[in-house]
Structure 1
Amino acid sequence: MGSRGIAISLFSGAGGLDLGAEKAGYSVRASVEIDRDAAATLEKNFSTLASPVIQEDILQVSSEQILAASGLASHERPELLIGGPPCTPFSKSGFWLDWKRAGKDPNASLLQEYTRVLRDLQPDMFVLENVYALTYNNKASKPHYDRLMQEIGEAGYVPVSKVLNAADYGVPQARPRLFVIGRHKDKPLPVHPAPTHGGAWERRRSGLEGSPYRTAGEALSSVVSEPEPGETVAGRYGHLLPDIPEGDNYLFYTAKRNHPSPEFEWRKKYWSFLLKLDRGKPSPTIQAQPGPYVGPFHWKNRRLRVPELKALFTFPQEFELVGSRNSAQAQMGNSVPPDLAQQVIEAMHR
Structure 2
Amino acid sequence: MTHYIGRFDEILLVEDNSTAAERRRLAGVGSEDTGQTITVRVHRLNGASKLVVARRTYEAGSMRSKRSAKIELASKLVDRAADGGQPVVVAGTSYGSASAFLEMLGERDLPFVVQIRPSTVVQLNERGRPTVAAADVLERGRWRDISTVMPDGAELECSAAKLATVALPAGTGWLFAAQVGGIQGVHRGTIIGLASFDAGLADLVQLVAHARWIRRASRNEKRREAARTGAEPSGAASAITARANIALARQQDARAQAELPQIQTSTKGLLRQAASILNVIELFSGAGGMGLGFLLGGGPQGRYRIIYSGEANPIFVQTLRANHKSFERAARLRPASRTPESSEAADLREKAVLERAEAVAREAGGATFLIGGPPCQGFSMANRNSWSASNPHNELVDVFIKYILRLRPLGFLMENVQGILWTPNAGTSVSVVDVIERRLKAAGYVLFPKLLDAVWYGVPQNRTRFFLMGLHRDLGYSADDFGPWGPFPKPSHGNPSRPFVTVRNAIADLPRIGNGESEERASYDEPSDEVLQENEFLRYARAGAEHGVAFDHVTSRHADYVIERYRSIPAGGNWESIRDQMTNYADVSRTHSNIYRRLRWDEPSITIGHYRKSMLVHPSQHRGLSLREASRLQSFPDWFRFAGTASGKPGGLVHKQQQLANAVCPLVTKAIAEFMLNL
Same fold by TM (over 0.5)? yes
> What's the secondary structure of 1:59's corresponding residue?
coil
Match of 2:405 in 1: 119
Q: Does the aligned pair in 2 maintain the 1:233–1:301 contact within 8 Å?
A: no
Which amino acid in 2 is paired with 1:345? A
Q: Which residue of structure 1 lines up, in the alignment, with residue 431 of structure 2?
A: 143
**2:333 equivalent to 1:12:** no
User: Corresponding residue for 1:275?
Assistant: 597
Rounded Cα–Cα distance in structure 2 between residues aligned with 1:315 and 1:142 = 37
The DSSP-based 3-state class of the residue aligned with 1:44 is: helix
SS across alignment from 2:394: helix
Q: Following TM superposition, where does structure 1 have runs of at least 4 consecutive aligned residues deviating by more than 6 angstroms?
A: none
Aligned-partner SS, 1:107: coil
Aligned equivalent of 1:337: 665
Residue type at the aligned position of 1:68: A
- Verify the 8 A CA contact 1:12 1:32 in the aligned structure 2: yes
Contact 1:231 1:302 in 2 (8 A): no
Structure 1 unaligned blocks of 5 or more = 199-207, 255-260
More RCO (CA 8 Å, sep 6+): 1
- Equivalent in 379, 382, 399 of residue 93 of structure 1: 382
Aligned equivalent of 1:109, options 395, 398, 407:
395
Pair 241,55 (structure 1): closer, same or farther in 2 beyond 3 Å: same
What is the deviation of 1:341? 0.5
Matched residue SS, 1:148 = helix
Offset of 1:185 from its aligned partner? 2.1
**Aligned twin of 1:258:** none
Counterpart of 2:401 in 1: which secondary structure?
helix
Q: Note if contact 2:503-2:633 (Cα within 8 Å) is conserved in structure 1.
A: yes
Taking a change above 3 Å as real, the CA distance of residues 28 and 19 of structure 1, as seen in their structure-2 partners, is same
Distance 1:55 1:319 in 2: 20
Cα distance per residue 1:225-283 (max 9 Å; x no partner)? 862365343266442111101111011135xxxxxx57588843111211111111111
Task: Write the distance in 1 (CA, Å) between the matches of 2:500 and 2:374.
Answer: 28
Q: Which amino acid aligns with 2:314?
A: R
Aligned partner of 1:216 among 495, 498, 503:
503
Cα separation, 2, equivalents of 1:44 and 1:274: 33
SS in 2 for 1:150: helix
Aligned to 1:78: 367
Quote the offset at 1:330 in angstroms.
1.2
**1:225 and 1:185, CA in 2 relative to 1: closer, same or farther beyond 3 A?**
farther
Deviation at 1:30, TM superposition (A): 0.7
Q: State the shift of 1:318 in Å.
A: 0.9
Which of 639, 646, 654 is the matching residue for 1:318? 639
Per the normalisation by structure 2, the TM-score is 0.45
Name the counterpart of 1:32: 310
1:153/1:159 contact within 8 Å kept: yes
| Superposition deviation, residue 314 in structure 1 | 1.4
Query: What displacement does 1:321 show?
Result: 1.3
Q: Deviations over 1:49-85 (max 9, x none)?
A: 3442241211114433113245x339x4211111000
Counterpart code for 2:572: G
Task: Find 1:42's aligned residue among 316, 320, 323.
Answer: 320
Q: Which amino acid aligns with 1:28?
A: I
Aligned-residue Cα RMSD (Å) equals 2.6
The structure number with the bigger radius of gyration is 2
2:655 matched residue in structure 1: 327
Quick check: 2:424–2:432 contact (8 Å CA) kept in 1?
A: no
* Residue 297 of structure 1: aligned partner: 617
Does residue 55 (structure 1) correspond to residue 328 (structure 2)? The answer is no
Greater alpha carbon shift after TM alignment, 230-239 vs 23-32: 230-239
Q: Is the 8 A contact 1:170 1:214 kept in 2?
A: yes
Q: Which has the larger displacement, 37-46 or 50-59?
A: 50-59
State how far apart, in whole Å, the 1-side matches of 2:318 and 2:368 are. 25
The one-letter amino acid paired with 1:49 is T
1:65 to 356, 359, 368: 356
User: Could you tell me whether the CA contact under 8 Å between 2:379 and 2:419 is conserved in 1?
Assistant: yes
Taking the aligned partners of 1:345 and 1:339, their CA distance within structure 2 comes to: 10
Q: Distance in 2 between matches of 1:139 and 1:182?
A: 20
- 1:81 is paired with a residue whose SS is strand
Which of 492, 499, 502 is equivalent to 1:196? 492
Q: Which moved more, 1:301-310 or 1:111-120?
A: 301-310
Does the C-alpha gap of structure 1 residues 262 and 34 become closer, same or farther in structure 2, counting only changes over 3 Å?
closer
SS at match of 2:633: helix
Aligned-residue offset at 1:209: 6.4
